[in-house]
Amino acid sequence: MTQPARNNWQSVQEEVVRRIHGKVWNQGDLIPNEADLAQEFGCARATVNRALQNLADAGLLDRRRKAGTRVALFPVRKATLEISLLRKEITDKGHAYGYAQVSRKHAAPPATIASRMGLEPGTRILHLVCVHTADARPYVIEERWINTGAVPAAGTADFSQLSPNEWLLQNVPYTNGEIAFSAISADASVASLLQCEAGDGLFMIDRTTRRGDQAITSVRLVFAPGYQMKTTL
Amino acid sequence: MTQPARNNWQSVQEEVVRRIHGKVWNQGDLIPNEADLAQEFGCARATVNRALQNLADAGLLDRRRKAGTRVALFPVRKATLEISLLRKEITDKGHAYGYAQVSRKHAAPPATIASRMGLEPGTRILHLVCVHTADARPYVIEERWINTGAVPAAGTADFSQLSPNEWLLQNVPYTNGEIAFSAISADASVASLLQCEAGDGLFMIDRTTRRGDQAITSVRLVFAPGYQMKTTL
DNA sequence: ATTTTTTATATGTCTGCACATATTAGTGAG
DNA sequence: CTCACTAATATGTGCAGACATATAAAAAAT
């Protein structure tokens, strides 16, 4: 049986996946090295490298220099979520976007937030609460702390028209951060802002962004009931 | 001013990011083509290509053949979540893993699930409810429908010891699917299984997986209160 | 003026080669 | 036997060149 030439990285990848699914290579098994596979498939080693690297990224393979490539013991799948501008997310869904600032003050954040942002306890920074609406219905509450030590301009910026979400993206690009997804039960104040019932289960995102090791902002987004964040696998 | 040589793709990427953040190239701007950048940076075009492709993947650039590369209008950040085996997730956190099957029957799924799985209305398939525990405390409820038309072996498999989550991963690799994250309020039956209060806000994952265009399974995971799914940006 | 065809161009990717680098396995000194 | 050093090896990545492919823009045909 002669192999059809697999001379592009996608077909190499397909064949490798086929062999893993077909248990030709079992989980934990060492697979042939790049040079051998390249010869078998009739392509350059770089092509095999790209295919295998892609599969390692996807979590199906584990690779280590000198040790070789093996089929992952736990095939971890990765879902990528797009974190976009709220305005864009709402208009992309075909709804009319609206925005309102609820409160703005300078205050010391709670200890958990202060430590997450690497601030001295008691440091007073900017605190904002706003609501984004879709077709005039509340869509999400944005509760945000901005490190005015790192971003002095935010202290004087006007967030009554432009959301801090958008202002920060335009003015203070971040380099890294953390994000956490969870759920809470609506309390009275949240319920009144989102026009829902107290006790409703709400989807929530906590996000802290940094520029290097300096925290820029920490935000909690609490979404209206029924909100779903979807993606493909 | 002579440029230091940027002869690897990471440093090319860094420089490009620096120029975007520094507004040397503004959002929506067309940036120089790969050949020109390669000459400027003193490296091969393939190196620039890899850097730019990586940034396009990350959502910072938009690239189109012939049209060229431009700075994305909305710099969409992407968070990647690792979807791992529940057992692994729990033991990795240092807890003792436990598993119990709550119910098992054949039934016709609700219309939303049936259509999501592409089943004829009224088709009876396998339905399972199980609980995964961490240190003997309920961690998550797994409510699963398995398409026994596509996976006959599941109809006779024993899920009293091995969770369907794990059985499927070992026996029926999937190729694609959808996943949705949301929140619900605990009702009485969920509260009793998770040993929490009715009305608690709970984090929830709905996932449907396929092999080609044939649905294999659809699962709803309802997590105990306080559960967070974290990742970096 | 509108549609179709052609052409030019930027990205996409393959090849063959080279060298870098991490890491394992073997070697040898103590 | 143990530990430090060395060599071997698989992956990681760079380069120059070539061709493939999508598509925007220009040219030609209607």
Q: Give yes or no for residue A3 having a pLDDT over 70.
A: no
Mean pLDDT of A170-196: 94
Q: Give yes or no for residue A164 having a pLDDT over 80.
A: yes
Q: What is the mean pLDDT of chain A?
A: 94
> Distance, in angstroms, between A81 CA and closest chain B CA?
5
Q: Give yes or no for residue B51 having a pLDDT over 80.
A: yes
Which of 140-179 (B) contact A at CB < 8 A?
Answer: 169, 173-174, 176-179
Q: Give yes or no for residue A7 having a pLDDT over 90.
A: no
Question: Using alpha carbons only, what angle is made at residue B181 by residues A226 and A142, rounded to the nearest 5 degrees?
Answer: 65
pLDDT band with cut points at 50, 70 and 90 for residue B224 = very high
Q: How far apart are CA A163 and CA A130, in angstroms?
A: 8
- As a whole-number percent, the residues of chain A with pLDDT over 70 amount to 98
B202 CB-side CA count, 13 A:
27
Closest residue, chain B, to A172 (C-alpha)? B21
Residue type, A1: M
Give the contacts of A199 (CB within 8 A, at least 6 positions apart). A185, A186, A191, B185, B199
Q: How far apart are CA B76 and CA B165, in angstroms?
A: 32
- Residue B16 dihedral angles phi and psi, to the nearest 5°: -65, -45
Mean pLDDT of B193-198: 95
Asked whether the beta carbons of residue A81 and residue B84 sit closer than 8 angstroms, the reply is no
Mean pLDDT of B79-97: 94
Mean pLDDT of A159-173: 92
Residues of B in contact with A180 (CB under 8 A): 228-231
Q: How far apart are CA A62 and CA B50, in angstroms?
A: 22
Closest to A150 (Cα-Cα) out of A104, A207, A85, A218: A218
Distance A64 CA to C29 C1' (A): 30
Q: How far apart are CA B59 and CA B175, in angstroms?
A: 24
- Residue A103 dihedral angles phi and psi, to the nearest 5°: -155, 155
Q: What is the pLDDT of residues A97-150, one digit of tens each?
A: 999 999 999 999 999 999 999 999 999 999 999 999 999 999 999 999 999 999
pLDDT band with cut points at 50, 70 and 90 for residue B125 = very high
Mean pLDDT of B127-145: 97
Distances in whole angstroms, Cα of residue B218 to Cα of each of A118, A180, A226, B128: 42, 24, 19, 11
- On strand D, nucleotides with any atom < 7 Å from a protein CB are 8-18, 21-24
Question: In this structure, what is the dihedral angle of CA atoms A179, A184, A190, A194, given to the nearest 10 degrees?
Answer: 80
Six-digit token pair at B55? Answer: 């940034």
DSSP code for A117: T
- Residue B179 dihedral angles phi and psi, to the nearest 5°: -140, 140
pLDDT band with cut points at 50, 70 and 90 for residue B4 = low
> Distance, in angstroms, between A165 CA and closest chain B CA?
12
Mean pLDDT of A77-105: 94
| Residue corresponding to tokens 């996932």 | B207
- As a whole-number percent, the residues of chain B with pLDDT over 90 amount to 91
Q: Output the pTM of the full model.
A: 0.90
pLDDT band with cut points at 50, 70 and 90 for residue A233 = confident
Q: What is the mean pLDDT of chain B?
A: 94
pLDDT band with cut points at 50, 70 and 90 for residue B3 = low
Q: How far apart are CA B6 and CA B14, in angstroms?
A: 10
Beta strand segments in chain A, E: 61-64, 68-71, 77-83, 97-107, 125-134, 137-146, 176-185, 201-211, 214-223, 229-232
